[in-house]
Structure 1
Amino acid sequence: MKNLYSLLLLFIFISSNQAFASRVDTVEVFSASMNKKIKTVVIRPDDQKSKVIPTLYLLHGYGGNYSNWVEKVPYIKALVDRYNYMVVCPDGGHGSWYWDTTPDFQYETFVSNELVEYIESNYNVCKHRTGRAITGLSMGGHGALYLAIRHQDVYGAVGSTAGGVDIRPFPNNWDMSKRLGEYAANKEKWSEHTVMEQLHLIKPNSLKIFIDCGYDDFFFGVNEELHKKLSYLNIQHSYLNMPGKHDWNYWAQSIAFQMAFFDQFFRN
C-alpha cells in the first residue's frame, strides 16, 4: 500500500503540471419535481469527437456545491482526458443527503431521473447502465450508494469516498434531523434512509462497488462496518484505506483511485 500511495502522489504531481484540454460546462438543469433550475458542472474529455462515452455522476458533500470538485481538485480535468469519460457534478442542495423528503428536497428524483435524462438528451453519452456510474464524498458518498442501490436499473457501478454510510451514529449533525425528524422519535425512518440498512436490496452481481476512507476520518468506523457487512452478505466490493482525514487533501488523492476503478468498469 505504501508503494501504491507513493505512485499516486507522483501521478498527482505530474497531472497538476499538465495543461488541461478537457472542457468544462456549467449548465442549469430544470427539476420538475422541485420546480427550479439546478446548476451542474459537466467535464468533457477533449478527444470525444463523435464517440459515445460513459458518464460518472460525482456528488459533493455537506456544505458544498456543484463547483467543488472542479475548483478544489482541478487535475480532475486531466483524469477526464486520461480516461475519456464524462464527469457530471450536480448541486445537491444544503444537507439534502440526496433523499426525496420535503417538496423542495427531491434530490433522489433529480439526480437519478431528471439529471440523467437531461445529460443523455444533450450530450453524446451511453444511455445504458453499463455506461453510468455514480460516486461522491462524505454526504455525497452516502448519496451515491443510496441512489445506486435504489436505482440499479440506472447505474452499473457505484463508489464512495469517506462516505457517511451509516447516518444513525450522528443524529445531531448535518441537517439530517431537518429532513427525517429527530432520530429518537423516527428510528425506523432513519434506518430506511441509511445505506447500511439498504444492502439487502443489492441484486447478485448487479453493482460494481468501490469504497475508500482515510484512517483518521471520523467516518472510518462506519466504513469499516459497511465493509464487514458487505463481506458477511457475500456482496463483492473493493475496499481501500489510506492515511488521511475528512478533508480535500484526502479526497484529492482518493478521486484518482475512484476514477481508475470506474475506467475499468466502463472498459469491461
Structure 2
Amino acid sequence: MNKLQPRLRKLFKRIELLQLLRYTASLIAALLSGLFLFTNATLGTIASSIIDVGLDPLRSQLIAALIMTALVALIGALIGRRKAATILGAALVFCLGYLKGFINLERQPVYDPGGHLEPLQANALFNTSLIMLALALLSAFIGSAVGVATGESVIDPPLHTLQRGFMLLWRRWEVRRLRQRGAFDIDEAATQPGLFARTNLGRSLSQWAGAIAIILILVFALRSGDLFIFSPDVGLHAAPHITASKSGDKNAEKSIGVSSIKQDYVKSKALGATKPFEVYLPPSYNTPQGKIKHYPVLYLLHGSPGKDIDWLTGGKAGQSTDTLITTGKIPELILVMPDGNGKPGRTSEWGDSYNKKQPIEKYITTDLVDYVDQHYRTIPDPSQRAIGGLSMGGFGAANIAIHHPDIFGTFISLGGYYYAEGSVWGSDPTYRLDNSPAYTILSTPRARKLHIYLGAATKDQPYYNDTLGFMKQLDKLKIPYHFDLQKGYHSWGIWATQMYNALGWLKWD
C-alpha cells in the first residue's frame, strides 16, 4: 500500500493539472469568442434586429449585449466544460464590451429639453452598473449551462469512450507492474480517505460559494425591471438645479414652497373597485398663499403595459413641471396619473369594453374627475382640464376627449393611434368605429373645438404613420393642431421630451 499511495497522488496531481487546463481553456475560449463577437458590427446587427421589433437603441443594445454574453459563455463551456471559468470570462467580456461604454456615455453632460443640466447621480449609476453586471452573470450562467449540457450530450460520449479505453489499458498495465513488485490490496488503498479529503472539501466549498453567488445575482437581477420597461439610463440624472431668480421673467408668478407627489385612491362605481392614482401638487398648493388658489388639471394616461407611476418615473412629468413652473414658463397646475389596467392579461385601451364589464372610460370621466374636483382645489371647467397620454394612453386621451368635449378641452396624444385595436372592443365593427378618434371626430362637431397636441417619432412605426393619417383628417376638417416630431423611436426619452414641450404649449382659457 505504501508503494501505491505515491502513484495515486501523482495521478491526482495529473487530474488536477487536467482540471486546471480545462478551466484555462474555458476562460480563454470565452475571452477569444467575446473578442470576436463583441464587435460594433456584430453587436450592432443584433441591436438593429431588436430595434426593428419596436425598442429604442439603449434598451436594444443592453439586450443585445446580454444575448452576446450568453453566447460567449456557451462557447466557453462547450470547449472547456467549466462553468465558473466560463462565467468569469463572459462577465469580463460584458464589462469591457458594453458596461464600460455605457458608463462613459452616462458621464457625459445631459440636458433636459429646456437646456438645463441634469446632474449625474453617482450612486444611481453604481447601482445600475451592479444590476447590469448581475444580469450579465445570469446570462453567462444560462449560456454556460446550455454549453455544458450540449457538450455532454453531443461531444462527450465519443470522448468518454476513448477515455474509458485508455484508462482501462492504463489500469491493467499499472496493476500488472505493481503486482510484479509486491502484493497489496488495491481496493483498500484506493479507498483511503486521506487521498480524497482535500478534493471533496474543495468541491463542497465551491458548491456553497456558487449557490450563494447565484442568490446574490438573482437579488440584483430582480431589480432590473425599470431598465427594460423605461430605459437603462432611467433615474441616473437628477432634476436641474434651478431657482426662480434665474428664470429671467420678473413678471412671472414665483411659487413659494415645493411640489409634492402623493398616491390617492377612488372607489369607482363604474368598475365596482378601488383604483389608485398619482397626484402631482404644484409648489404653492400647500402654502398659506395657495390655500385660496385653484388650479387647472392635466390627466396623464400610461401605455401598455404600464401603471400609474410611469409618467413620473419614465416621463419625468413631475420634474419637467417643476422646471417649467420655477422658470416662469407655465402657470402652476395639478397632474393626475390614473391606473388604467383592466382585468389581468388584458389591456383596457382606456375605453369601455364591448361586454360592459370594464368601463374604464366611464371611470375616468365620472368617478375620477368628480373625485379630483371634490378633493383637490381644481378649476372644474373643460377649458381648465386637459388629458394626455402615450401609445395606448395617447389613443385613450384622444378617444375620451372627443367623446367628452364637455369635460376635457384639450388632448395630447404622443406616439398614439387613432383606430380602435384589441379584443376589448369585441367583434362589432360599428362599436370599433365609435371608439376610433379618426372616425368619431367627423361626427362630433363640439370636438372640433378641442385644443390638440400630437407627438410622433421618425422611426416609430406604425405610430408615426397613424399620426400622419390622423393629421390628414384634421386638415380636411380644418381643425388646428400642434405637431411635435422628434427623431427617435417608441421610447420614454421621446415622450419625456414631448411632454416637456406640451406642458409649455398648454394654453388655459
TM-score, scaled relative to structure 2: 0.46
The equivalent position to 1:34 in structure 2, one of 271, 293, 298, is 271
Give the Cα–Cα distance (whole angstroms) in 2 for the partners of residues 204 and 128 of structure 1: 15
**1:180 maps onto 2:425 in alignment:** yes
66-75 or 30-39: bigger deviation: 66-75
2:405 touches 2:447 (CA, 8 Å); kept in 1? no
1:241 is paired with a residue whose SS is strand
Report how far residue 8 of structure 1 moved: 2.1
The equivalent position to 2:360 in structure 1, one of 83, 104, 107, is 107
| Counterpart in the other structure of 2:349 | 97
Q: CA 1:135–1:187 in 2, change beyond 3 Å: closer, same or farther? A: same
Larger strand proportion of the pair: 1
2:496 is paired with a residue whose SS is helix
**1:208 maps onto 2:451 in alignment:** yes
| Counterpart in the other structure of 1:77 | 319
1:22 touches 1:77 (CA, 8 Å); kept in 2? no
2:378 is paired with a residue whose SS is coil
| Counterpart in the other structure of 1:252 | 496
| Counterpart in the other structure of 1:229 | 473
Q: Deviations over 1:70-112 (max 9, x none)?
A: 1223463341561310000000114111111244411111111
Report how far residue 194 of structure 1 moved: 1.3
Give the Cα–Cα distance (whole angstroms) in 2 for the partners of residues 29 and 162 of structure 1: 28
Aligned counterparts, 1:150-189, within 5 A = 150-167=403-420, 176-177=422-423, 179-182=424-427, 186-189=428-431
Structure 2 unaligned spans of 5+ = 1-110, 120-237, 243-256
Give the Cα–Cα distance (whole angstroms) in 2 for the partners of residues 109 and 80 of structure 1: 31
Give the Cα–Cα distance (whole angstroms) in 2 for the partners of residues 43 and 7 of structure 1: 19
2:415 touches 2:457 (CA, 8 Å); kept in 1? yes
Tell me which of the two structures has the higher relative contact order, counting C-alpha pairs closer than 8 angstroms and 6 or more residues apart.
Answer: 1
The amino acid across from 1:42 in the alignment is: V
1:41 is paired with a residue whose SS is strand
Q: CA 1:37–1:227 in 2, change beyond 3 Å: closer, same or farther? A: same
| Counterpart in the other structure of 2:217 | none
Tell which structure's C-alpha radius of gyration is larger.
Answer: 2
Q: Deviations over 1:34-93 (max 9, x none)?
A: 110111000010113121110000000111011111122346334156131000000011
| Aligned-pair identity (%) | 23
Q: CA 1:204–1:253 in 2, change beyond 3 Å: closer, same or farther? A: closer
Q: Deviations over 1:153-185 (max 9, x none)?
A: 111111101112234xxx6xxxx11x1235xxx
The equivalent position to 1:217 in structure 2, one of 437, 441, 460, is 460
Report how many residues are paired.
249
Give the Cα–Cα distance (whole angstroms) in 2 for the partners of residues 56 and 23 of structure 1: 15
| Counterpart in the other structure of 1:261 | 505
1:209 is paired with a residue whose SS is strand
Report how far residue 239 of structure 1 moved: 1.4
The amino acid across from 2:460 in the alignment is: D
Structure 1 unaligned spans of 5+ = 1-5
Aligned counterparts, 1:17-28, within 5 A = 17-18=240-241, 21-28=258-265
1:18 is paired with a residue whose SS is coil
Give the Cα–Cα distance (whole angstroms) in 2 for the partners of residues 147 and 124 of structure 1: 23
What is the aligned-residue RMSD (CA, Å)?
Answer: 2.2
2:383 touches 2:408 (CA, 8 Å); kept in 1? yes
| Counterpart in the other structure of 1:61 | 303
1:224 is paired with a residue whose SS is helix
The amino acid across from 2:312 in the alignment is: V
2:457 touches 2:487 (CA, 8 Å); kept in 1? yes
